[in-house]
Amino acid sequence: MGFAFKRFNFFQPHQVARHAFPPNASCVVPGGPVLWVGTESGSVFILDARLSLLGTFNAHGHRVLEVVWLEKRQLLITVGSEEPGCLPFPCASREMHGVPRLVLVRAMAS
């Protein structure tokens, strides 16, 4: 059995005096030259390597649960809830009890 190592390009660590990283961040993914940060309030922040704010948009009505960046397609996918207390999937069983009424998956092409 053989092993292979891959090199991943991440941001270089350094101290940042002022930054725009939201205090209510719920998930983060690097995508292209930026960081996509989902928040508890349903917004997605776009930050550069210095953590300066490049932009923001409302992705969901309540909370962004996950952000995924598809490099080959240059596509951002967000999963979030539109109401407080909603979870996107039943956690304990395969029954459909407790499935939220409004959970949206949104995709945005860059």
Going along the chain from its start, the domains and CATH numbers come out as: 27-109 (2.40.10)
Of residues 93 and 64, which shows the higher confidence score? 64
Reported as a single tens digit per residue, the pLDDT across 48-88 is 988 899 999 998 888 898 998 888 888 888 888 877 766 55
Q: Given pLDDT bands bounded at 50, 70 and 90, which one contains residue 90?
A: very low
pTM to 2 decimals? Answer: 0.68
**What is the per-residue pLDDT for 100?**
41
The CA distances from residue 64 to 32, 37, 88, in Å, are 20, 9, 11
**Mean pLDDT, residues 26-34 taken together:** 90
